[in-house]
Amino acid sequence: MRYICGQLEVLLSEGDVTEMDCDAIVNAANNHLWMGAGVAGAIKKKGGKVIEEEAVKKGPIPVGEAVVTTGGALRAEYVIHAAGMGQDLSTDTQKIYHCTLNSLKRARELGLKSIAFPAIGTGVGGFPLEEAAGSMLTAVVDHAAAGADSPQTVHFVLFQQSIYQAFQEAADKLLTRQDK
């Protein structure tokens, strides 16, 4: 599904974020930046342990922040580690909002054209899909409202149909849908 938000294009798809061919993918991280299960584990498995080694050297970071590392063997040049939770592995709408917004800021600082997000906080964090979707998409709206034109394309790559559906419902409320 394709949406427009200010100068940004927002795309929703069902799939595996580690397979994305874009400038950066986002890791749903903890604030110590070690990569265990879920999205982080998949990124480490496909991209190599070099990603975690570089990330851990940059941590710990405040929950809600984001840092950039190499993409290792991934198609993406960079991984942006969005700290949506601390060591307690719990999250909330504000943490998800801020780590999404800060990921977009890191992409803008690097002048990236495209970024791909998973559904932050909904796996290991167990956060409700609808709330996570609303929080993440609100961060995109706020990033665009601040005049940001980078990254130009924001992908949400959602691992299951139920996650995709939650993001589509939130996007229909917050963004302008474009038919292909």
Q: To the nearest 5 percent, what fractions of the chain are helix, strand and coil? A: 40, 25, 35
Q: Are 99 and 140 in contact (CB under 8 A)?
A: no
Report which of 8, 9, 27 is spatially closest to residue 17, judged by C-alpha positions. 27
Q: What's the confidence (pLDDT) of residue 47?
A: 98
Per-residue pLDDT tens for 83-129?
Answer: 999 988 889 999 999 999 999 999 999 999 999 999 999 988 889 99
Q: Residue ranges per domain, the chain? A: 2-178
Q: What is the pLDDT of residue 111?
A: 96
How much is the pLDDT for 148?
82
Query: What pTM did the predictor assign?
Result: 0.96
CATH of segment(s) 2-178: 3.40.220.10
Residue that the structure tokens 């419902």 belong to: 169
Judge whether residue 180 has pLDDT over 60.
no
Q: Across all residues in the chain, what is the average pLDDT?
A: 95
